[in-house]
Amino acid sequence: MMSWHSVWVLLLLSALLLPGRVFAERVEGIYEAEVPVAGQSAAVRSAGIREAFARMLVKATGERELLVFDWFNSVQKRAPRYVQQYRYRMLPPPPAGEAAAQPVAEEAAAQPDRLLWVRFDERAVNRLLRDNGLPAWGSERPSTLVWLSFDNGRQRTLYQPEMEPELRESMQVVAQQRGLPLLVPLMDLEDQTAIQSSDIWGLFEQNIRSASERYLPDVVLVGRLRRLAANSWSADWTLYDAEGASSWQADGANRQQLAQQGVEQAGNLLVARFAPKAGALDAGTLRIRIA
């Protein structure tokens, strides 16, 4: 007859070997957020802390939809209670002729001149989430590698990040907001040898997965962006993971908008697939009884 010790050891090994539980990337700064503000008055700081609190909760859970929950408005008003530390750092002055980003809280219509960084109490935030049925995700999360190809009506090309770095940065902004590690291929000689635009447009999965191996991603996001007319683009997206693929379509005014939408929807799918559900044990937690 198998002893309790043997049973629990088997359960422990099974938990460690469950697919989708061990990810390639550890996300840092989940309980931190930074927002632009104008000045350091108490009113501006309070508004900035509330905005930072909202951003932090999205990262902690991966769920952007929580911002529309009934309980969120009342909780956000109490955001200062959860602050562990905060500090400011000055922003460089905007180039002449360029509009600066809108401040979180306006002070005499001033433009933001600094960033307010806030760290929140991890234990208190996790307790708040549990009380409202939203368990924290944890720091080990799936890394996503993004392949993009464009069709401008004349030719199809692979996205070259060094030629259009602002597109990569816009995708990284969305990924960071969701607390998701995002990888963009270097598109060096090795990548250019391993994959072609035809692989992306033909959705040749074996070639795509093979070219992705050097980056060791947990999932692969493939975007095929097609120009329809001036200020009109469409995108076909496919997300590959160990269990298969998910696909969807989107429309937008430009490539940057579509790229951000693609990362946003990929985040929704990853949260639904991998984030813990209410009532589940915290990731990596297992009670062991030794007879």
- Segment 22-47 shows an average pLDDT of 92
Q: What is the pLDDT of residues 224-253, one digit of tens each?
A: 999 999 999 999 999 999 989 999 999 999
Going from the C-alpha of 164 to that of each of 161, 168, 230, the distances in angstroms are 5, 7, 19
Of 106, 108, 124, 110, nearest to 53 by C-alpha is: 124
Cα separation, 235 vs 268, in Å, equals: 17
Q: What is the pLDDT of residues 48-67, one digit of tens each?
A: 999 999 999 999 999 999 89
Going from the C-alpha of 275 to that of each of 22, 129, 133, 180, the distances in angstroms are 12, 13, 13, 11
Question: What pTM value is reported for the model?
Answer: 0.81
Per the listing, tokens 């040749």 go with 204
DSSP 98: P
Q: What is the pLDDT of residues 261-283, one digit of tens each?
A: 999 999 999 999 998 876 543 43
Q: Which two three-digit tokens encode residue 228?
A: 């329809």
SS (H, E, C) 137-183: CCCEECCEEEEEEEECCCCEEECCCCCCHHHHHHHHHHHHHHCCCEE
Percent of the chain scoring above 90 in pLDDT? 75
Cα separation, 271 vs 107, in Å, equals: 37
Q: What is the DSSP string of 105-138?
A: S-STTPPP-EEEEEEE-HHHHHHHHHHTT-----
Q: Which two three-digit tokens encode residue 260?
A: 């951000």
Q: Which two three-digit tokens encode residue 215?
A: 């980056």
Q: What is the pLDDT of residues 100-144, one digit of tens each?
A: 555 555 444 579 999 999 999 999 999 999 998 888 999 999 999
Of 210, 262, 272, 202, nearest to 233 by C-alpha is: 262
pLDDT at 5 over 60: no
80, 119 contact by CB (below 8 A): no
Q: Tell me, what's the pLDDT at 22?
A: 59
Q: Cite the beta strand spans of the chain per DSSP E.
A: 25-26, 32-37, 83-90, 114-120, 140-141, 144-151, 156-158, 182-183, 219-229, 232-241, 244-252
